[in-house]
Amino acid sequence: MRRKLYLETFGCQMNVLDSELVLGQLRAQGYESVEDRDQADVILYNTCSVREHAEQKVWSRLGELRDRKKLEPHLVIGVIGCMAERDGTNLFKRHPHVDVLCGPGELDKLPSLVHNATIANAAHYPSPPYAGERLGGGASSSNKNEDKTPHPTSPLNTGERRQRERQVALMGASVRRSSTLAAAEDHLELLDLSRSVSPGDDISQAYVRITRGCNKFCTYCVVPYTRGPEVHRPPQNIVDEVRMLADAGAKEVTLLGQTINHYAFAHGDGRVTSFADLLYLIHESVSHLPRLRFVTSFPRDFSDQALQAMRDCERICRYLHVPAQSGSDRILKLMNRGYTRQQYDDFLSRARELMPDVSVASDFIVGFPTETDDDFAQTAELVRRNRFKNSFIFKYSPRPGTTAIDRFTDDVPEDVKRRRNNELLAVQQQASEALNRAMVGTTVEVIVEGESKLVSRQAAGASNVELKWESRRAAVPVQTQMVGRTRGDHVVCFDGDRSLKGEILDVTITDARNMTLFARRATSGSFTVTNPPPRGTGLQPVRAT
């Protein structure tokens, strides 16, 4: 019987990709993934440490498992990702029922850690017998009819009741590898290279990593400590992965990196593939991929060549996620961001000069230590003048291990942080609404991501009637509200049916309410945006068919 695996992911796109790769590895070892945690023999949490709030969610999940572990000591519980790396073995003090810890830099070792934890649990709690099973074979703790005789090679035969062993693979904060480390020597590269797509996998939108780690050391941020130094993947490996995904049906690939525009692969013979080179290379080599995008950009290091590649390659989405973090030079300096607000503005002017229709999103931290009302006013002003499509706004969260927590007192009171957060959201909302309204009447291309969450929730909450109707008339597509994403990253709701998921189609924007765009499907070929769209709307003209 296959062992059942439950994996829950917290945090950023990088974690989503890590989970996908880990799941692929464990499935190849014979694990079956389940959506119900109660059914699982192995429970893994892929965690995020960027803010305390993200960690608290995992603490509470682990707390819920304490009693179950007492009843089912063979259950394997693992914490993987940034929290494992940041907290290290201290995590066992708070949650002794955790069996496996694996940092993001060691995920290739996870299958053997899980296997060893299974064996160790069996040795320590000798019933029912798991021990001695082959990696990838798999017995289930829920299989009550199993033969209870220990396997001949079982550690139980040693007669020892050993101390329960925990399985740990962490990079260790002190290990700083050279940033020039060739990715070919990087054992994690094998994890990315092992990626495969199985029939039935939903890969219409897929992620591909181009760099790992980060060298920027912004004073508030744990990422350089949890994910290690920046390593750039060989361009050919990236192209091969994008091509494999496109061949398997991917319609949109998002390239991932913490400071993605910093990508530069040194081949060792003096040649360097820059970020711009990589964009051109993927665009030319995988010509059947309809959409290519990338996140997250750093305001420094963005070459004109990379912007020109975005302008010249029609299948690269004109969308930039380029976090500013603050509009105050004093705070930017304390954050160690390495640019001024003038340099940030200049970068956006350069981008918009080359691509008047580029859509831009940003991130901000409010309530950074010593932030005054005046500092905050400068941030609000930056948001007002830069016409972001949207901004992700966070209250400063002091993180253990970062420079900021050692160097600065978290002196902005929580209520002030909350007020600034709300004020900045309101400023952003005004900008988003104006940009959204300017889109009404235009026709844009969307990739259909699925059913609108609101509709799904209603269906889950009440609607036996709808489900019965659906099953009786399964052949008839059920009209519902679907969600699509434009090339500029706008989310658009429109009436459609579930079979459209993963399709790319044209919709005409009919309404813009609050932060949401509404649309109807465009009649093929009848709508064309002939005039340049308003600056900063993120619209790209739809080609006439």
Binding site for ligand SAM (CB under 6 A): 12, 50-51, 220-221, 223, 258-259, 296, 298, 323, 325, 363, 365, 394, 396-397, 399
Comparing CB distances to ligand SAM, the nearer of 52 and 284 is 52
- Decide which of ligand SAM, ligand SF4, none touches 224; Cβ closer than 5 to 8 Å per partner kind: ligand SF4
For residue 150, the 8-state DSSP code is P
We find the least distance from the C-beta atom of residue 220 to ligand SAM, in angstroms, to be 4
- Percentages helix, strand, coil for the chain (3-state, rounded to 5) are 40, 20, 40
Which residue matches tokens 């009741």? 161
Round to whole Å and give the CA distance between 545 and 543. 6
Does 392 bind ligand SF4 (CB under 6 A)? Our answer is no
We find the least distance from the C-beta atom of residue 95 to ligand SF4, in angstroms, to be 26
Exposure b/e, 120-136, CB count within 10 A at least 16 = b = bbbbbebebbbbbbeee
Round to whole Å and give the CA distance between 516 and 510. 11
Round to whole Å and give the CA distance between 309 and 524. 29
- Decide which of ligand SF4, ligand SAM, none touches 217; Cβ closer than 5 to 8 Å per partner kind: ligand SF4
Rounded to the nearest angstrom, the gap between the alpha carbon of residue 375 and the centroid of all alpha carbons in its chain is: 30
Among 77, 114, 123, 223, binds ligand SF4 (CB under 6 A): 223
- Decide which of ligand SAM, ligand SF4, none touches 265; Cβ closer than 5 to 8 Å per partner kind: none
Comparing CB distances to ligand SF4, the nearer of 217 and 392 is 217
Does 210 bind ligand SF4 (CB under 6 A)? Our answer is no
We find the least distance from the C-beta atom of residue 112 to ligand SAM, in angstroms, to be 28
Task: Give just the sign of the alpha carbon dihedral 29, 36, 227, 241.
Answer: positive
- Decide which of ligand SF4, ligand SAM, none touches 399; Cβ closer than 5 to 8 Å per partner kind: ligand SAM
- The piece of 29-37, 167-175, 216-224, 237-245 that touches ligand SF4 (CB under 6 A) is 216-224
**Which residues face 406 on adjacent strands?**
none
Which residue matches tokens 């019933």? 127
- Decide which of ligand SF4, ligand SAM, none touches 245; Cβ closer than 5 to 8 Å per partner kind: none
Does 256 bind ligand SF4 (CB under 6 A)? Our answer is no
Q: CA 255, 315, 9 angle in degrees (round to 5)?
A: 30
- Decide which of ligand SAM, ligand SF4, none touches 207; Cβ closer than 5 to 8 Å per partner kind: none
At residue 459, φ and ψ (nearest 5 deg) are -65, -45
We find the least distance from the C-beta atom of residue 211 to ligand SF4, in angstroms, to be 11
Among 80, 122, 214, 507, binds ligand SF4 (CB under 6 A): 214
Longest dimension (CA), the chain: 81
We find the least distance from the C-beta atom of residue 460 to ligand SF4, in angstroms, to be 35
Alpha helices in 125-227 (DSSP H): 187-193, 223-226
We find the least distance from the C-beta atom of residue 402 to ligand SAM, in angstroms, to be 7
Does 217 bind ligand SF4 (CB under 6 A)? Our answer is yes
Comparing CB distances to ligand SAM, the nearer of 98 and 393 is 393
**Which residues face 392 on adjacent strands?**
363
Size of the residue set binding ligand SF4 (CB under 6 A): 10
Structure tokens at 258: 């913490």
Which amino acid does the sequence have at 216?
A: K
- The piece of 210-218, 238-246, 342-350, 523-531 that touches ligand SF4 (CB under 6 A) is 210-218
**Which residues face 256 on adjacent strands?**
209, 295
- Decide which of ligand SF4, ligand SAM, none touches 396; Cβ closer than 5 to 8 Å per partner kind: ligand SAM
Among 62, 80, 218, 360, binds ligand SF4 (CB under 6 A): 218
Round to whole Å and give the CA distance between 223 and 77. 24
Which residue from 116, 115, 109, 143 is spatially nearest to 129, judged by alpha carbons?
143
Does 259 bind ligand SF4 (CB under 6 A)? Our answer is yes
- Decide which of ligand SAM, ligand SF4, none touches 397; Cβ closer than 5 to 8 Å per partner kind: ligand SAM
We find the least distance from the C-beta atom of residue 336 to ligand SF4, in angstroms, to be 8
Comparing CB distances to ligand SF4, the nearer of 216 and 395 is 216
For residue 470, the 8-state DSSP code is H
> In 10 A of CB 195, how many CB atoms?
16
| 3 state SS of 83 | helix
Cα–Cα distances (Å) from 460 to 34, 456, 466, 476, 482, in that order, read 19, 6, 10, 20, 16
- Decide which of ligand SF4, ligand SAM, none touches 233; Cβ closer than 5 to 8 Å per partner kind: none
We find the least distance from the C-beta atom of residue 339 to ligand SAM, in angstroms, to be 11
Among 258, 261, 273, 386, binds ligand SF4 (CB under 6 A): 258
- Decide which of ligand SAM, ligand SF4, none touches 394; Cβ closer than 5 to 8 Å per partner kind: ligand SAM
What x/- string results for residues 277 through 306 when contact with ligand SF4 is judged by CB under 6 A? ---------------------x--------
Q: Are 436 and 517 in contact (CB under 8 A)?
A: yes
Q: Cα(first)–Cα(last) distance of the chain, in Å?
A: 53
- Decide which of ligand SF4, ligand SAM, none touches 539; Cβ closer than 5 to 8 Å per partner kind: none
> In 10 A of CB 226, how many CB atoms?
28
Round to whole Å and give the CA distance between 27 and 45. 16
Q: Are 518 and 509 in contact (CB under 8 A)?
A: yes
Comparing CB distances to ligand SAM, the nearer of 86 and 251 is 86
Q: Is the omega angle on the peptide bond into residue 523 within 30 degrees of 0, that is, cis?
A: no
Among 81, 126, 150, 224, binds ligand SF4 (CB under 6 A): 224
Residue-wise DSSP of 118-185: HHHHHHHS-SS--TTPPTTT---TT-TTS--SPPTT-GGGGT--PPPP-EEE---TT----TT--GGG
Binding stretches for ligand SF4 (CB under 6 A)? 214, 216-218, 221, 223-224, 258-259, 298
